[in-house]
Amino acid sequence: MVALPPCERPRLRCCAASGCRSAGARPLLAALRAAAAAGGTAPDGIAAGDQAADDISAGASAAPEPLEVRSVGCLRLCGEGPLVAWDGPEGTRLFGGLAPAAAAALVDQVRGLASLPLAADPALVSHQLDLEQPFFRLQRPLVLEGCGIVDPERIEAALAHGSYAQLRRVLHELSPEAVREQVRRSGLRGRGGGGYPTGLKWDTVALQPPGRRYVVCNADEGDPGAFMDRSVLEGDPHRLLEGMAIAAYAVGADHGYLYVRAEYPLAIERLRLALQQARQQGLLGPSIAGTAFALELEVRVGAGAYVCGEETALLHSIQGQRGIPRTRPPYPAQAGLWGAPTLINNVETFAAVPVILRQGGDWYAAIGSEGSRGTKVFSLSGAIRHTGLVEVPMGISLRTVVETMGGGDPDGGAVKAVQTGGPSGGCIPADLLDTPVDFESLLSLGSMMGSGGMVVIGQGTAMPEVARHFMAFSVNESCGKCVPCRAGTVQLLALLDRFVEQRATAADLEALEALCAMVKATSLCGLGQAAPNPVLSTLRHFRQEYTAALGPGS
Amino acid sequence: MSVVTLQVDGRDVAVPAGSTLLQAIRAAGLSVPTLCDLEGLEPVGACRLCLVELEGSQRLLPACASEASEGQVIRTDTAQLQGYRRMAVELFFAEGNHVCAFCVANGTCELQDVAVAVGMDHSRFPYQYPQRSVDASHPRFSLDHNRCILCTRCVRVCDQIEGAHVWDVAERGSDCRIVAGLDQPWGEVDACTSCGKCVDVCPTGALFAKEDTTAEKHPHPERAGQLRRAREQRQWIS
Amino acid sequence: MSAATPVPAPGAEPQIHLRPGPGPCDGDERIARLIRRQGRQGDGLIEVLHQVQEIHGYLPKPALLQVARALRLPLSRVYGVASFYHLFRLQAPATHRCAVCLGTACFVRGGGRLAAGLQRRLGLALNQTRDDGTWALEQLSCIGACGQAPVLVLDGVLFSAPLLDQPKALDCWLTSLGLPAGVETR
């Protein structure tokens, strides 16, 4: 969590994840460290730029007392980045958007050396963020428990925060069957979009005939507007590795892959470092934690193909092939990598496992709603005041997430719709915002949970344009194997052009609906089957925008 | 040999366990249109023409790539399926440049046959008129990309039967195309044995022998299955 | 191909000789080394291609040939994989690359207008490179900087675009980033 209990020795936590990096976190972190080392007086040139700042190491003569400036993962409110948390005897304070030049002022405040009180410090006062606001208060961090607290590049930090404790316990005390029992009881469902019961999937893999098995982590987070998995990878990679190792033990796998999209270089770097550190600590590799259990994990990097999030395409890609899906059955749980039973789960699913083992499946199942247990991480973005990452109990209403936590439209206007599920999902209109966020409710509205991207759409955006945006995405990402997706999405895009350009006819509307139905029903994989969803859901909830786009004479 | 029994369009049929739905449909004396499927090659389920309805399931199943199982009730020719098949054929015609009157395969073209079978005489979707090329660099054969429907029979026969793997699919989505070697002119690819199997199995006029002109192509799609049987079961046809 | 192959001009397809047998195209020791390190496994093709692209900035055909031979893979399979993934480049990259994010968050916050402005300014369509190889305009689908939306990435550095509703101010901002103005100034 972002706010921590009061602590005697003050400390700064600076977010060094991608979102804040793109807002300038690296020079800020370097400036904070330099200021901390220099006793509060920033050396010249700190603010000059990234490169110069990175090169500065602790070099000042007499530091008064060591001030820890910790590099951490996501502090949630990405839109206000770069974020810095100050933990001290009075609890946590959070600052957003600080320039490197303000680092010295902050360090002076932390040390009690500032000439002005915080509330009057011009360098800081307008940057302090309210940690009591609903955006933070309503979060329930389980998967993100350590994200923003631990230094993701130091396994010692993760170990001190409890990482790998469940793996050790499980290996020494529980049978694989007993582990699966807890996962079954938790009611956990796949967080990658499909919502398949995780315990059932683990059982299916475990109960295949004897032989080699694999575990695969799907970290090919490709939905535009989704950055949940990236935050876990960048902020607390050891939690993911622990969850994956527990899964491997539970299904009898001794080898596994983490398939990460190449667009996440920092996540890849930190994951590789985490793997190396875990091996050094004997938490991966042969005879883990002194037991007979062995596990080798490797990172495989994608190369820019959204379709590789589809599990059979992902398997092809791991094996060095074109990322094209194949027909199922056989399912990967029966025949996956090199024909062996393969467990594929998404990042958030694996990362939920340690807490389930620690607290028990029943404890986890008590959170959330019927059929959708536990918590879900969402990335909030678009036409919204607070862009960032939230982890909330399932069953919470969309309105609570978007309006109460997200603060609604930044310009004070009304929210028009919320897009969930990315290019496979749909748009939920504002008048249905009281819908609970769970797998079934979102499906019944023609959208889907998806991996957790939530993009808020403001009044100024026309829905046929939203539909066209997603269709263009699908055209660009179709693998080209089956004709409905390869050629059907192209035709759907051309039809949507006519609506956006206000030159459609009634026949176009009919063709649009017929072709959507055909592509949905006949495409080979999930990408094609779901490609019409953004059109179908906007047709369902915003049909008047399509009929209004019919040109004269129709 | 164990047997499974199922019902296809109201007819009971028994097939050896492990048979595909397509084999069961044919055993019942019925047919569904196919383009990518070919006996002797591993199925890919790409053309989506052989999709059938399974009672009790929302999902449509590709008959070529689905295993028949005991007690299934299959429907192959509902109004819904007819509508989808017709649209799929329209999409094939609209995405390429198919001009039957000038085509080497006119009269022996499987795409043409399928169009007739599903009652498609024109595409309701606008023709895309893509810019595509012809590769006539091979001494005996030519590849006209305008007529290619990406069924990948040539890719599979060259890989699975001939073992040369001259062909593969390049690019993705609507940019997909068949390539020889490192996207080289076919005639320059040393791996090609000039066996002609790709030409034999091509369902359209995309791959053809140079001596053939309009409506003169003589495809031999049956050869893939014959060669597979010869190799695996030591059975020859003389 | 002669032993003294000149370095190809950016964008120009190097001439290659694809006959079997050892030749200069097997001679790139850096590629040979990385394939040895990787263990000559065909399933590691994508990893190998990533590393080759790091060496050359793109995937030249002679390098693809060397990779195919060393991994004992069919040439068409290697080309099929290299051309499937968007991040693999089969042409030498442009000197300067401007990539505009068209992810959903950027789209909702005016990424489309930003893209249109860039197309006008650079005189390029999306995913197009100038003939002289100086500038390329690319589209990205979500780089996860949704908090800064709409964003563009200029030669690897990310910028958050302001003032989309004021074309003049936007133009000034693009000038300050060093983007050339207008097609005629190329």
CA A518 to chain B, closest CA, distance in angstroms equals 6
Whether pTM > 0.90 for this model: the answer is yes
CA B36 to chain A, closest CA, distance in angstroms equals 10
Quick one: closest CA in C to B175, which residue? Answer: C84
What's the complex ipTM? 0.97
Chain CA centroid to CA A532, Å: 24
Three-state SS sequence of C78-105: HHHHHHHCCCCCCCCCCCEEEEEECCHH
Residues from chain C that touch A18, judged by Cβ atoms under 8 A, are: 144-145
Residue pLDDT, tens place only, A123-162: 999 999 999 999 999 999 999 999 999 999 999 999 999 9
CA C140 to chain B, closest CA, distance in angstroms equals 17
pLDDT at A494 (0 to 100) = 98
| A499 part of a folded domain | yes
- Domain-terminating residue out of A314, A341, A364: A364
Which of C50, C103, C158 is nearest residue A224 as measured by Cβ atoms? C103
Whether residue A205 sits in one domain with residue A96: no
Across all residues in chain C, what is the average pLDDT?
82
Quick one: closest CA in B to C73, which residue? Answer: B165
The residue that leads in pLDDT, A1 or C161, is C161
Residues from chain B that touch A481, judged by Cβ atoms under 8 A, are: 44, 46, 150
pLDDT at C26 (0 to 100) = 54
CATH value at residue A384: 3.10.20.600
β-bridge mates for residue A456, sequence order: A382, A418
pLDDT (mean) for A259-267: 93
pLDDT confidence bin for A553, thresholds 50/70/90: low
Rounded CA gap, A33 and A46, in Å?
A: 10
Which of B48, B126, B149 is nearest residue A522 as measured by Cβ atoms? B48
Contact across the interface for C61 and B190, Cβ inside 8 Å: no
Question: Based on the number of CB atoms within 10 Å of its own CB, is B159 exposed (0-12), middle (13-18) or buried (19 or more)?
Answer: buried
| A439 part of a folded domain | yes
- Domain span holding position A381: 373-458
The token pair at C135 is 């500038």
Whether residue A447 sits in one domain with residue A471: no
Contact across the interface for A387 and C47, Cβ inside 8 Å: no
CA A249 to chain C, closest CA, distance in angstroms equals 25
Q: Residue A259 above 70 pLDDT?
A: yes
In a 3-state reduction of DSSP, which class is residue A157? helix
Rounded CA gap, A467 and C141, in Å?
A: 15
Rounded CA gap, A365 and A554, in Å?
A: 54
pLDDT at A539 (0 to 100) = 97
β-bridge mates for residue C139, sequence order: C100
Whether residue A401 sits in one domain with residue A332: no
pLDDT at C109 (0 to 100) = 87
Alpha-helix residue ranges (DSSP H) falling in A142-193: 155-160, 165-173, 176-186
| A349 part of a folded domain | yes
Contact across the interface for C144 and A458, Cβ inside 8 Å: no
Whether residue A290 sits in one domain with residue A271: yes
| A109 part of a folded domain | yes
B99-232 and B3-77 share a CATH fold: no
Rounded CA gap, A318 and C44, in Å?
A: 8
pLDDT confidence bin for A51, thresholds 50/70/90: very low
Please report the DSSP string for B82-114 in residue order.
HHHHHHHHHHHHHHTT--GGG-TTTTT-HHHHH
The token pair at B31 is 């047919």
| DSSP secondary structure code for residue B204 in this structure | S
| A440 part of a folded domain | yes
Please report the DSSP string for B156-183 in residue order.
HIIIIII----EEEES-GGG-EEEETTT
Given a contact cutoff of 8 angstroms between Cβ atoms, the answer to whether B233 and B193 are in contact is no
CA B65 to chain A, closest CA, distance in angstroms equals 7
Contact across the interface for B48 and A524, Cβ inside 8 Å: yes
Which of A18, A388, A461 is nearest residue C108 as measured by Cβ atoms? A461
Residue pLDDT, tens place only, A485-533: 999 999 999 999 999 999 999 999 999 999 999 999 999 999 999 999 9
pLDDT at A411 (0 to 100) = 86
Largest Cα–Cα separation, chain B: 54
The residue that leads in pLDDT, A119 or C162, is A119
Given a contact cutoff of 8 angstroms between Cβ atoms, the answer to whether C182 and C121 are in contact is yes
Contact across the interface for C108 and A320, Cβ inside 8 Å: no
- Domain-terminating residue out of A85, A117, A132: A132
Residues from chain C that touch B164, judged by Cβ atoms under 8 A, are: 74
Which of B168, B172, B191 is nearest residue C79 as measured by Cβ atoms? B168
CATH value at residue A91: 3.40.30.10
| A142 part of a folded domain | no
Among C76, C85, C87, C90, most B C-beta atoms within 10 A, so best to mutate, is C76
Q: Does C49 touch chain A (CB under 8 A)?
A: yes
Residue pLDDT, tens place only, A422-470: 999 999 999 999 999 999 999 999 889 888 999 999 999 999 999 999 9
Rounded CA gap, C176 and A366, in Å?
A: 55
- Domain-terminating residue out of A412, A440, A458: A458
CATH value of B99-232 in 3.40.640.10, 3.40.470.10, 2.120.10.30, 3.30.70.20 = 3.30.70.20
Q: Does A446 touch chain C (CB under 8 A)?
A: no
| DSSP secondary structure code for residue A197 in this structure | B
Rounded CA gap, A172 and A178, in Å?
A: 12
Q: Residue C135 above 70 pLDDT?
A: yes
Q: Does A301 touch chain C (CB under 8 A)?
A: yes
Whether residue A193 sits in one domain with residue A318: yes
Strands ordered across the beta sheet of B73-75: B11-16, B3-8, B73-75, B51-54, B60-62
| Residue in the structure block whose two tokens are 């527990």 | A246
Give chains near C: 3+ CB pairs under 8 A: A, B
Whether residue A96 sits in one domain with residue A167: no
According to DSSP, the β-strands at C96-101 and C151-154 are antiparallel
pLDDT at C173 (0 to 100) = 84
Given a contact cutoff of 8 angstroms between Cβ atoms, the answer to whether A64 and A226 are in contact is no
Rounded CA gap, A416 and A548, in Å?
A: 17
Question: Based on the number of CB atoms within 10 Å of its own CB, is A434 exposed (0-12), middle (13-18) or buried (19 or more)?
Answer: exposed
The domain locations on chain B are 3-77, 99-232
Report the percent of chain A where pLDDT is more than 90.
Answer: 88
pLDDT at A64 (0 to 100) = 63
| A6 part of a folded domain | no
The residue that leads in pLDDT, C116 or A354, is A354
Residue A236 contacts by C-beta under 8 Å, 6 or more apart in sequence?
A73, A144, A145, A146, A147, A150, A152, A158, A163, A351
CB neighbours of residue B169 within 10 Å:
23
Across all residues in chain A, what is the average pLDDT?
93
Contact across the interface for B189 and C75, Cβ inside 8 Å: yes
CA A492 to chain B, closest CA, distance in angstroms equals 10
End-to-end alpha-carbon separation of chain B, Å? Answer: 28
Whether residue A349 sits in one domain with residue A231: yes
Rounded CA gap, B121 and A341, in Å?
A: 46
pLDDT at A436 (0 to 100) = 96
pLDDT at C108 (0 to 100) = 86
Whether residue A252 sits in one domain with residue A222: yes
Class of domain B3-77: alpha beta
Give chains near B: 3+ CB pairs under 8 A: A, C
CATH value at residue A470: 1.20.1440.230
* Number of structural domains chain A divides into: 4
pLDDT at A333 (0 to 100) = 97
Residue ranges of chain B with per-residue pLDDT less than 50: none
Whether residue A283 sits in one domain with residue A331: yes
